[in-house]
Structures are given as structure tokens and as C-alpha cells.
Amino acid sequence: MSSSSPSPSPSASDTCTSRHFSWLMKSCFTNPQHPHLPSPLSAITAAAGTTTTTISSLPDDLLLECLSRVPYSTLPSLPAVCRRWAHLVNSPSFQLLRLRHHNVFHTLFSISISNSALFTATRRFDRGGEPAWKVSSFVPSREDNGGLGSGYGFSLMSHFRLVSIGRKIYIIGRAAMMRCDTWTGILVPKAAMNLPRKKFAVAAVEGKILVAGGYARSSAVEEYDPDENAWRVVTEAPRRRYGCIGASADGVFYVIGGLKIGGNDGSVCASRATGAEAAHVYASSMDLYDVAARGWLRSRAVPGGGCVVAACAASGDVYILSSHAVEISFWKFNASRKSGNFGDWSRIKSPPVPAQVRLDNTVRFSCVGVGDKVVLVQVVGCIDDLLRRSGRTRRGLKEGLVLVYDCGDGEWSRAADMPEVIRRAACVSVEC
């Protein structure tokens, strides 16, 4: 701004400032606290009757194009520049442009919560990613919990589930929800579900979060709108499930496996008497909800039955790990509704785990789609203890086993084990 035409100085929150940027970015826009002294070249340009273009004067589409090419290490600084930039980098267009420029990295986040702290372990599984896990912890301040004190939000996160939208992770507990920005690590409390669910299915579809199951007195399916920070009931599920798993592919919300919640007292059906047949049907089936059409598609069941113990979506398909009496099986469900093979099942190579794991439910796995890979993470139990009880001396499978299935070549490989500090974790893939 020249001294010949003074005007009120804009606030720092509304104007692009130069903090957090390199010398190259600093030259692209002016700092309102330091009037710009034109160089001889800019003086000549001004005399010619033209205006100097800075990055802050670009239209939104061109500015988005520029920001989408910024290196990943610089991304956390972008929202702090000004409100306009914060709005742009939070828009779907920014994420789409980064995808187009191949600047989005698929990262696995494993989160473990205690009463006073949150621990995260992260790892990239694409080419160029570090093979080791990066561990960090977070202890909230009073401000982070709305003035309710340190640890307040964590104490309400029992049986939590994770879901991601863009770079943000939503940690959904029975009576509370928090949102974590993976760029900055900031935790923000968000509206809790209307129903106090436990061991429910959750997935993100078209920028919204859907939950189902986990509540004995209702079959309601709830949807969360991040823009409005509000939950609402959108439909009733055909089955009331407990311990179910959620996934999403091609605009469909999948509610997979679990047990039947039956009886007037809201108890979970066991595999005895009249509940045996119903429990078997629930454990090996999945319900499909078309979010755009607001209707349920025909339910599907895993071939050969069994009990679904882990499931996820990856590369446009749904992958399911099922446990049987003497073996485990791994299945791929064609989830592309535009193809003529929608709904087809294919049995694929099972993960290389010891046979004893198939018979002991104290070992549990989480299944996560990370780009074109399926990552199987052991989140509960000790495989070495199972082998020791069976008289075998094999070691190296104590806790935190991580197996990776490549959807392209159909082969399994073993990745670095989960860090010891991460126990009873929930896992989610984030595009960041």
C-alpha cells in the first residue's frame, strides 16, 4: 500500500501475512505491518498504468492450483495465513487437486486412548514412505476440552471408533466425539451421537459420517454432517447388530457381521437355543445402504458362512476376513455398482497367521484399506502365548503384528510391528 492513498490497515486474520513461509513465499505478498517500497521495476510498471499481481490477489481457482502444489511439510502452515486460505485448504476442491497432482499420501493412523492421554502411531504404505512407525502423544489442555479439565474427553471415549474425512480423523465414543486435525494435531470436541452406541459400525460416505448398530433399543442409522456439527436419523436398519463393522464403497454404507441384539431386555443373542440360527446369519452377513437413494439394497452373506472378524474397503472393493471352525478365509466383494460383476465374491489368499489364532478369540485384528493395500493389524492378544500353550517355541508374534495385502499382486507381506505403547487401538486410513 503506497503512502499517497492511505486506508485502514486490515486485520491479520483476514489478510495473507508472511509468517510460517520461506523467503520465496514472502516475496509473493505484502505484509500490512511493513509498507512495500517499490523497486525500480515495479515503479516503471506502476507508471505505465498497470497493476502488480500478488498471490493474494489471484482468484480462488488459481490460488487453489498454487496451494495444491505446496510440499507436504508446508501444509500445516497454510490455514494460519488468513481466513481465506484456511477456507480454501479445507474445501473438497483442494483435496481433489492434490489427488490430481499425486500429492496425497495414504497414511495409517493407529490410536490408543487412556484416561489422560491419546497415543498415535502413523506409517505410510506407499512408495517412498518410511518403514518405521512414528509415535506421538497428546495430553489436552483445559481449552481443548471446553474448559472441562484435562482428560475429560478421553474418559468418555470407551469403545471408540475411528473414521476419516480428508485429513481429519473423527474419534467417536459412546458418549462423546472429538475431531483431530492430522496436520496440526489439534483436538476439537464435536457433537456426540444421539444414541449411546457400543461396538457399532461407522464409515464416511460422500463427506458425511454414518453409524449403525450397537444399540439394543433402536435400529436407527444416524448421519453426521461436519459442516453443521449435528447428527440426525436417516433410516432404520433391517437388522439390529452388536459388534458390527462399517465400510463404504461407491456410495454404499456396509454394515457387516456382528451379533443379533434381541429380547425385550436388549440382550445380545448367544449361539444357544432359538438364537443360534439368527446369530449365525448376522455374523456372516452384511446390509447395504445406498446413501444417495436413501434405500437399502439386497443383503449379502459371506460364502461358506463363518464369523466376520475384520473388514474394510480398498481399491473400490470390500475385503472381509472370516473365521471358521478350523480355518480362516479372506474374501473380496465386488463393490463397483457400475460393473456387471457387482456383488460377486472371490476367495483370495488368506493372511499368514498361525493356525492356533483361528481357534482363539482372544486375538483380534483390525482391517484397514490404505490406498491399494489392505493392512491387517493385531490390536488385542498375544500370539506367542497361544503358541506356547500348544507346545510350540516359535517367537516374534507377540503383539502388534502388522500384515499387508497388496490388492494388485495378491500377495501378503509383513510390516514393522506396532509400537508397544499402542495397545487396544483403533485404526484408520487418512489421505493427507
Choose among 339, 323, 328, 244: nearest CA to 288: 244
SS3 59: coil
In percent, how much of the chain has pLDDT > 90?
A: 42
Report the C-alpha gap between 302 and 282 in whole angstroms. Answer: 10
pLDDT tens-digit profile of 7-53? Answer: 444 444 444 544 444 433 444 444 555 444 444 444 444 445 555 66
In percent, how much of the chain has pLDDT > 70?
A: 72
pLDDT tens-digit profile of 118-127? Answer: 889 999 887 6
* Sheet containing strand 168-172, strands side by side: 161-165, 168-172, 177-181, 187-190
Largest CA distance in the chain: 92
pLDDT tens-digit profile of 154-202? Answer: 766 778 999 999 889 999 999 899 999 888 888 899 999 999 999 999 9
Task: Pick 147 or 129 by higher pLDDT.
Answer: 129
- Give, in order, the Cα–Cα distances in Å from 195 to each of 137, 211, 246, 282, 337: 29, 10, 17, 21, 31
Q: Is 403 left (phi over 0), alpha (psi -120 to 50) or beta?
A: beta
- Give, in order, the Cα–Cα distances in Å from 371 to each of 110, 179, 289, 337, 432: 16, 22, 23, 20, 12
pLDDT tens-digit profile of 81-106? Answer: 888 988 898 888 888 898 888 888 88
Task: Find cell 463397483 and name the residue.
Answer: 336
Q: 361: which 3 cell numbers? A: 478369540
pLDDT tens-digit profile of 298-311? Answer: 999 999 888 899 99
Count CA atoms within 13 Å of residue 35 on its CB side. 10
Q: Is 420 exposed, middle or buried (0-12, 13-18, 19+ CB in 10 A)?
A: exposed
pTM, two decimal places: 0.80
